[in-house]
Amino acid sequence: MSATQKPVRLSKADDLSERKAQIESLKTEHAEIATKFHAKRREFEKVDEELGELKEVADDRDRATAEFGDLLFAAVNLGRHLDIDPEIALSRANDTFAERFRVVEQLARDKGRRLRDLDITELDRLWETAKAVVSTTQTGSSFTLTPERNDS
């Protein structure tokens, strides 16, 4: 049979069997997608829950340490559901922070100022400028997460 020829239908039962198989396949695919979607949503909720628990005990260093660990664990688990390698993500976050900090230092030097002499408002303003300069979402940015870079 050539690629342009349709298979010969033997009976209406064949059509029904084929359609039933297609429906079952679609139901299975839908169930898998729904399960993944709900799992991701649960992981986002878990991160929110752990963050809330950390906020509640922030003044108690021992309890906060335990809750912070739970938050990190939840974040790593969320990353797994998003197919993100947490080690790579953390490394990139460190790189981004370092690059932005270098920009802040340069901006202060350009103004003839030292970082320790700036108040929090001035530092925040410089940080926002650095965030615009060193973007993590801009296409082509060395800090943009792409599937092929996530595998590195």
Please check the confidence at residue 2 and state whether its pLDDT lies above 70.
Answer: no
For the entire predicted model, the pTM comes to: 0.62
Judged on CB neighbours under 10 Å (0-12, 13-18, 19+), 104 is buried
Q: Residue 4 — pLDDT band, cuts 50, 70, 90? A: low
In DSSP notation, 45-57 reads: HHHHHHHHHHHHT
The ranges assigned to domains in the chain are 13-83, 85-152
Angle of the 86-110 helix axis to the 120-133 helix axis, nearest 10: 120
Q: What is the pLDDT of residue 141?
A: 47
